[in-house]
Amino acid sequence: MLIAACSKELSSCCHDPGIISLIAIIKNIMDIVQIIVPILLIVYLTIQLTRMVANPEEKKGMSKIKNQIIATILVFVVPVIINAVMNMMPQTFQVSACWNVAGGKDEVIMSKSLKYQNTHTEKANKLFTDRSEYEKGEERKTADSSGVAGGLAAGDAHGIIEGAEKVHKMYESQRWFYYNSLGQLKWNDIKYSTNNPSKATCCATFVGSAFLVGNVFPENVINKYNYNSVDGINSLCKAHNWVKISSYGSLKAGDIVIMTAPGSSGPGHVQIYAGNGTWYNAGSTNAVQRANPYSSDASGRFLWAWRIPA
């Protein structure tokens, strides 16, 4: 499934990583304020009470104590109200959408673990991005009995299938997962995303990585598009004059298929047709970790597909 927070086509407007980072900082500051300020206010309140006990006739002290109690309550209540308001607002409003996906504490922990993983496991986990580094395998059979036209799409469709196979095998063996925080994904660096130390991905990121590994598009071209969203993959194919396929029955291996998200009528998912009714897909953690390609009838969610030109 698509990164909903980054897809304009799904009417969810959190597509600006800068806003996400800013909101994450604000939320961290709010957390700190909720901890430190009440402690300071309690200390100050204790001092005032001590003075009141020492000098019972000091009436001004009671007024100060009331103010401190009110301030303490507000420090706790205001962040709760802000979070409630943001959760109630429609996700078409960019600030509320980004507020609900900003990482906060989880991103801080993740950044530390990424530094460790980069130092110790980057070489072991790295996926080759040059086709010459692969051992030549058996050519994929293209017979198709799934009710679609079958065969292999024209052009460099072999590269798409080869890239999808290499990337997905890495997902399966290393137990990658479907992202749960935007901070786990990387923008404008498909090579990093293909070897992401956090092992997080999504359906669109997977297709972008397949393009890179299969030498379908060079790194600098993929990085010009938001490859973490269906809209980005769709725009990439369209901008390079790929052939648009409007019939599910005409699909061929290597076609990039745009589909609806569950419960939606608009573009919300992308996966790669592998031929014979099978697919390469990374739309959920289950899809990421299970063996691919797998058989599935996706005709009910089909919108259109893109085929690399001859």
List the CATH number of the domain containing 228. 3.90.1720.10
Model confidence over 194-207: pLDDT tens digits? 999 999 999 999 99
Residues 90 and 140 in one domain: no
d(C-alpha 89, C-alpha 42), whole Å:
34
Residues 229 and 274 in one domain: yes
Residue 150 has pLDDT above 70, yes or no: no
Residues 210 and 268 in one domain: yes
Residues 218 and 69 in one domain: no
- Which of the four pLDDT bands, split at 50, 70 and 90, describes residue 96? low
Q: How many residues does the chain have?
A: 310
Residues 261 and 120 in one domain: yes
**What value does the mean pLDDT take over residues 134-163?**
55
Mean pLDDT, the chain, whole residue set: 76
Residue 7 has pLDDT above 90, yes or no: no
Quote the radius of gyration of the chain (alpha carbons, Å): 26
Residues 225 and 264 in one domain: yes
DSSP-based three-state secondary structure for 196? coil
| Domain end call among 76, 101, 126 | 101
Residue 260 has pLDDT above 70, yes or no: yes
pLDDT of residue 230: 95
Residue 22 has pLDDT above 50, yes or no: yes
Strand spans (E) along the chain: 177-178, 200-201, 243-245, 256-260, 267-275, 278-280, 294-295, 302-307
The domain of 48 spans 4-101
d(C-alpha 93, C-alpha 86), whole Å:
10
Residues 124 and 243 in one domain: yes
Count CA atoms closer than 13 A to 145's CA, side-chain side: 1
Residues 115 and 95 in one domain: no
- Which of the four pLDDT bands, split at 50, 70 and 90, describes residue 178? very high
| Domain end call among 101, 119, 139 | 101
When divided into structural domains, the chain yields a total of 2
Residues 256 and 149 in one domain: yes
DSSP-based three-state secondary structure for 273? strand
Residue 108 has pLDDT above 60, yes or no: no
Residues 123 and 257 in one domain: yes
User: Which residues on adjacent β-strands are paired with residue 260?
Assistant: 267
Residues 75 and 169 in one domain: no
| Domain end call among 39, 70, 101 | 101
> 25 vs 228, which has greater pLDDT?
228
Locate 134 and state its tokens. Answer: 């692969």
Residues 287 and 238 in one domain: yes
Nearest by Cα to 229 from 195, 275, 269, 199 = 269
